[in-house]
A and B are shown apart, each in its own frame.
Chain A
Amino acid sequence: MLRFLFNKIALIVPTLIGITICAFGFVRLLPGDPILALAGEHGVTPERYEALKVQFGFDRPIWDQYFAYVGGLLHGDFGTSIETHRPVIQIFMTLFPATLELSICAVIFAIVLGIPAGMFAATRRGTAVDQGLMGTALVGYSMPIFWWGLLLIIFFSGYLHWTPVSGRIDVRYFFKPVTGFMLIDSLLSGQKGAFQSVVSHLILPTIVLGTVPLAVIARQTRSAMLEVLSEDYVRTARAKGLRDARVIGIHALRNALIPVVTTIGLQVGALLAGAILTETIFAWPGVGKWLVDGIFKRDYVVVQSGLLLIALLVMAVNLIVDVLYAVINPRIRVQ
């Protein structure tokens, strides 16, 4: 197991180097530049432009800028935002809990509904229930997040007034963040009604962000389940006279979950992509929205370091999934 872990971690190093090159190069390939973006419609004189280029270090050769960036990273310095002048790592740590909290809720929502839906469809293969569930999953998978989010807001918040429109908590509640996770902080604050307010604010963004993973998990569970259900050991279990619930719930599900766990891991990347749109619609103060703002403002430092930090997290989650996978399926370790 240790060797397995070591191999996986060793693979991360070249990936990380690749990501620093991509993130650094990608933002510089975009048309436009941060000095003009900062100057606004006023524009800058050519002399001032040159002076600012020197001040920001953009006059140095590109490889020199890259090594300075990597050198900073090795010292734990992710740089300072060109627009806000604040350290990128500090902004990231402030915003990331909001994204993480929403993502966790979305994953839980997707798992809690997706796995039973997939199992249910698999056990009723070919029936109207199966087709209905899988058809709905396909619709969910194809739904544009922006449209889906606004639709839910207009219906549930605007028309029915069941849920708040946006934000993380009602503005009447005010307390300093302790963990950054609003569900926990609202409980710690001891303010009556704060926790309920946080939950009600989480409902719509969770549904919106969780819809695509829910559809993917449901479809994956169904196909994995169908495969497992045709295995000999399932037939044997049934022949032994075990009840259907036990055969499906214990024997089949456990084996069917292996590819599902991988799918969930892979969805983390998709979740972060979805978070960008979800956060914008629901005014959710997370890293997705921050990164997009950084791209629009050509804040090179925010984009290159923000991308790197997110890539690090995705890699960490994938590593955890690989380990989990190895725990569930010992054959992987041997391979």
Chain B
Amino acid sequence: MKLMKTLLTAAALAAMLGGSAYAKTLVYCSEASPANFDPGTTTGGNDYDAGSRTVYNRLVEFKHGSTEVEPGLADSWEISPDGLTYTFHLHPGVKFQTTDYFTPTRDLNADDVIFSFMRQQDDKSPWFTYLPNLSYDYYVGMDMPKYTKEWKKIDDLTVQLTLTEPNAPMLANMAMDFASIMSKEYADKLAASGNMADLASKPVGTGPFTFVDYQLDSTIRYKANPDYFKGKEKIDDLIFQITPDATTRLQKVQSGECDVMAYPNPADVPAIKADTNLNVFSQAGLNVAYMSYNTTQPPFDKPEVRHALNAAIDKDALIKAIFQDAGAIPADNLIPPTMWSWNKDVKSDAYDPDGAKKVLAANNVTKIDLWASDISRPYNPNFQRAAELIQADWAKVGVTANIITEEWTKYRADGKAKDRPGAFQIGWSGDNGDPDNFFATLFSCSAIGVSNYSSWCNKDFENDIQKAKTTSDVAERTKYYEDAQVIFAKDAPAFLFDHSQVYVVTDKKVSGFVQDPLGMHRFDGVDVTE
């Protein structure tokens, strides 16, 4: 017996040592701790990096490095001609992850899909309130409760969504993190044992990595899912090391403690590019910074005044001062050039201080409130500095700008008031790569008082974006959006500032990393040379 015990121990040790000798580990220095691991309940990019893209899959996925939608857990789908019914055909034999705390007894089926959405839709479901003070903000934010009529199981591998009205961006919504597919079997087990809160701290999905452990505010560990339906990942272990300070993150990647780092300081980028051990990925982010004029309030109710104020700003100098050499491109349209339907023929107002001065003088515009928050955003790292530069440009054309600075949440609350005076700096980072996510979210008539900071309601523009919503024909939708951009440029409800570059730094030994236009950090397909 004793000999048997010794032999078993030796075998176990050998297995462990052998495992560690060949284990490929990738360490990612992330910028913040995830709020939890249930992507339905969270809203931050860092939450999704940790709790969604690693552990879960969705019915459809964003193609790696693009905003195009490709098959995910659904191999194929049909959309009815009236745009009201979506039928998804699930990939057969998809296994949920086996962890220390759960062993699945069945493969993915339609029940899992229905559970994943209905827990967010049905306020009678115990999962609707399974955490204290829970709210499914993204599900609500994307208007899912309004559009969802019914989820129906056709058979184990076929599931059907019926909408209340056509909504073309719905397919892209299905690729978003809140639409991650969870295991109903696991949820039922948690409900039966009274441990429902574990759904948010001990995730079980079908994704490329299996959750192992989270040490609060410090380290998250995953291992490659051996049963992953797209094949096991090349790395064995994935570790998120939470490192909030950007300078510290850079030092860690330079000293080899991390293999990939998120969000370097733009000012450090030239030095990082000079480091021969590092790769720098950069991409025009799916974002826009702009300054909304309240079109219901004088003097902004006149389009010629808005155009003149735009023309008074030296946009190139402004971008150079705010982003240094780290890069951002001037925005001509509300959507960035990387997004489909971007209208290349539309140009924003050219810098013309002399012409602007005349128009502004003729309209007696001498004083303007100019809003700035104290926060740094990817699309505008320094609202305050931008405000000062715009103030200086406007002073040259005889307009005195009074800068109003407020804390971020109060800033947005005050900014969306329908009678807010002045020009309001704001911006947007896209959720799902669909133009509707920019046009309708930011400038539809129904967004006034919510996220339409210009209180701008233009019938023709509204007509275009609503029609684009009701058809799933991309060519047709493109035409509507191209026209919407022409109307936007003509009416100028806002000064369009920039689309900023987003950076990711990796060690040279990392291969297969693809930068994501939606700002996610994905590690499926990544390899590391030991």
Contacts from A to B (Cβ < 8 Å): 30-33, 36-46, 48, 52, 55-56, 80, 82-86, 91, 94-95, 98, 150, 153-154, 157-158, 161, 164-168, 171-172, 174, 176-177, 280-283, 285-286, 289-290, 293, 298
Query: Which of B134, B409, B441 meets A85, CB within 8 Å?
Result: B134
**How far, in whole Å, are A289 and B429 apart by their CA atoms in the complex?**
26
Cβ of B131 and Cβ of A285 under 8 Å apart?
no
Cβ of B133 and Cβ of A55 under 8 Å apart?
yes
Cβ of B218 and Cβ of A167 under 8 Å apart?
yes
Cβ of A84 and Cβ of B257 under 8 Å apart?
no
Q: Which B residues are in CB contact (< 8 Å) with A174?
A: 213, 221
Tell me the count of chain B residues lying within 8 A, CB to CB, of chain A: 56
Nearest-Cβ distance from residue A196 to partner chain B, whole angstroms: 16
- Output the nearest chain B residue to A51 by Cβ-Cβ distance: B135
Cβ of B133 and Cβ of A85 under 8 Å apart?
yes
Nearest-Cβ distance from residue A28 to partner chain B, whole angstroms: 13
Complex interface residues of chain B between 407 and 443 (CB less than 8 A to chain A): 407-410, 412-413, 416, 427-429, 441
Nearest-Cβ distance from residue B447 to partner chain A, whole angstroms: 8
Cβ of B408 and Cβ of A283 under 8 Å apart?
no
- Output the nearest chain A residue to B43 by Cβ-Cβ distance: A40
**How far, in whole Å, are A82 and B137 apart by their CA atoms in the complex?**
13
Question: B274 on the interface (CB 8 Å rule)?
Answer: no
**How far, in whole Å, are A176 and B132 apart by their CA atoms in the complex?**
27
- Output the nearest chain B residue to A164 by Cβ-Cβ distance: B257
Known: A31-B407, A36-B412. A43 touches B451 (CB 8 A): yes
**How far, in whole Å, are A38 and B47 apart by their CA atoms in the complex?**
13
Query: Which of A31, A83, A158 meets B255, CB within 8 Å?
Result: A158
Cβ of A32 and Cβ of B416 under 8 Å apart?
no
Nearest-Cβ distance from residue B170 to partner chain A, whole angstroms: 17
- Output the nearest chain B residue to A174 by Cβ-Cβ distance: B221
Query: Which of A32, A153, A158, A161 meets B408, CB within 8 Å?
Result: A32
Contacts from B to A (Cβ < 8 Å): 25, 27, 32-33, 35-36, 41, 43-44, 131-135, 137-138, 140-141, 197, 200-201, 213, 215-219, 221, 239, 241-245, 247-248, 251-252, 254-255, 257, 406-410, 412-413, 416, 427-429, 441, 449-451
Cβ of A43 and Cβ of B248 under 8 Å apart?
no
- Output the nearest chain A residue to B130 by Cβ-Cβ distance: A85
Q: Which A residues are in CB contact (< 8 Å) with B429?
A: 41
Cβ of B43 and Cβ of A38 under 8 Å apart?
yes
Interchain Cβ contacts under 8 Å between A and B, 7 examples: A32-B408, A33-B409, A39-B141, A165-B251, A165-B252, A283-B248, A298-B409
Nearest-Cβ distance from residue A123 to partner chain B, whole angstroms: 41
Cβ of A157 and Cβ of B255 under 8 Å apart?
yes
Cβ of B406 and Cβ of A31 under 8 Å apart?
yes
**How far, in whole Å, are A84 and B216 apart by their CA atoms in the complex?**
11
Query: Which of A38, A42, A85 meets B36, CB within 8 Å?
Result: A85
Nearest-Cβ distance from residue B12 to partner chain A, whole angstroms: 14
Q: Which B residues are in CB contact (< 8 Å) with A91?
A: 216
**How far, in whole Å, are A172 and B27 apart by their CA atoms in the complex?**
10
- Output the nearest chain A residue to B406 by Cβ-Cβ distance: A31
Q: Which A residues are in CB contact (< 8 Å) with B27?
A: 171
Cβ of B44 and Cβ of A165 under 8 Å apart?
no
Known: A85-B200, A281-B248, A283-B243. A42 touches B409 (CB 8 A): no
Q: Which B residues are in CB contact (< 8 Å) with A39?
A: 43, 137, 141
Cβ of A84 and Cβ of B35 under 8 Å apart?
yes
Q: Which A residues are in CB contact (< 8 Å) with B451?
A: 41-43
Known: A44-B450, A157-B255, A285-B218. A31 touches B133 (CB 8 A): no
Cβ of A41 and Cβ of B428 under 8 Å apart?
yes
Q: Which 3 A-B pairs have the closest CB atoms?
A: A32-B409, A285-B217, A85-B131
Query: Which of B200, B239, B255, B427 meets A171, CB within 8 Å?
Result: B239
Q: Which B residues are in CB contact (< 8 Å) with A154?
A: 247, 251
Cβ of A290 and Cβ of B217 under 8 Å apart?
yes
Cβ of B218 and Cβ of A32 under 8 Å apart?
no
